[in-house]
Structure 1
Amino acid sequence: MSDFDDLDHPLIRVTMLLADSAQVADGKLYLLGGGMRSIGPNPQPLGIAVLFEVPWDRADVVHDWLLELLDEDGVPVLIGDRPVIVSGQFTPARQQGQQPGTPLLVPLAINFASLPVPPGHSYVWRLAIDGTSEADWDVRFSVRPPADQIA
């Protein structure tokens, strides 16, 4: 059970963007082609940029995160018989010289060489932190149909 389970509102704010590529360097997010909502129809690289904003008084608390790819009906996307899921942990830390009370930022970049998803459909990456997901902790996108299938 996390320290956040008994609270009525999320303490962690999340910003998520899709990009052609994303990386973290020196505590900052770097994006190429960020903010897209459509990809394809041909396979292409895809990056997910996530910025966690954690209250100052929650420094050094370990959080588990899980990012799951769902289809337009909210069903997990499978590759073979396995759902497309990425997970990990983050621990916000206070930086030397940071003003007390300043939110703690934790950047995360996830990149895929390509996603084997059928064109002509919509998808959503849904994030959960410590087993909880909020309505705005997702990013939606669609995969364009091939040119010969556009009416």
Structure 2
Amino acid sequence: MRATLMLADHAVVADGKLYINGGGWSVTGPDPVPSAIAVKVDVPWDQTNRTMSLRLLLIGQDGDPVLLPGPEGPTTVQIEGEAEVGRPAGLVPGADVDFPLAFQIGPLPLTPGQRYQWVLEIDGETRDDWRLTFTTRAAEPEGPATYVVDP
């Protein structure tokens, strides 16, 4: 199974296609902003018509899952679900089936100046190229600003 992932400002699936706005970035912040994850999975013919589990997990630069405060205590930042990809009528036997996904992510209070990764797991398996690495800009120092004006 192959998967292609991209960070974006906004992404949506319509008519079996991914529509991506502001895609392909790897630096954000330092303030929390909304984002999206666009995913295209190429499902092999022999793996269609069965349920597969999907999970996107956010991990920090220490390699541990990112924990954010929740109503019941700290919770991991993840998206989970199940899907079944069917074979479209008329598809040539043996051909991969496109499975586009788009996830809108609300503003996350991530630590400035850090590296993060979204990790895709399909049926509990992940691969190196199923990871999206990004960094948050360092916070600007507070205090009076100095401006230089060129005469």
State the TM-score, normalizing by the size of structure 1. Answer: 0.86
Could you tell me which of 76, 85, 91 is aligned with 2:78? 85
5+ unaligned residues in a row in structure 1: which ranges? 1-11
Could you tell me which of 8, 11, 24 is aligned with 1:35? 24
CA root-mean-square deviation: 1.3
Could you tell me which of 44, 54, 57 is aligned with 1:55? 44
Q: Tell me the number of residue pairs that the alignment of Structure 1 and Structure 2 aligns.
A: 138
5+ unaligned residues in a row in structure 2: which ranges? 143-151
- Map of 1:44 onto structure 2: 33
Alignment of 1:90-105 (within 5 A): 90-105=83-98
- Map of 1:107 onto structure 2: 100
Structure 1 runs, 4 residues or longer, greater than 3 Å off: none
Percent identity, aligned pairs only?
A: 41
1:65 aligns with 2:54: yes
Could you tell me which of 17, 23, 26 is aligned with 2:15? 26
- Greater shift, 27-36 or 54-63, is seen at 54-63
CA contact (8 A) 1:69 1:84 kept: yes
Distance 2:106 2:130 in 1: 23
Higher gyration radius (CA): 2
TM-fit CA distance, 1:56: 1.4
CA contact (8 A) 1:90 1:106 kept: no
Distance 2:19 2:108 in 1: 21
For residues 117-145 of structure 1, the C-alpha deviation after alignment (integer angstroms, 9 at most, x for no partner) is 01110100011111111121111000111
Does the residue aligned with 1:51 lie in a helix, a strand or coil?
Answer: strand
State the TM-score, normalizing by the size of structure 2. Answer: 0.86
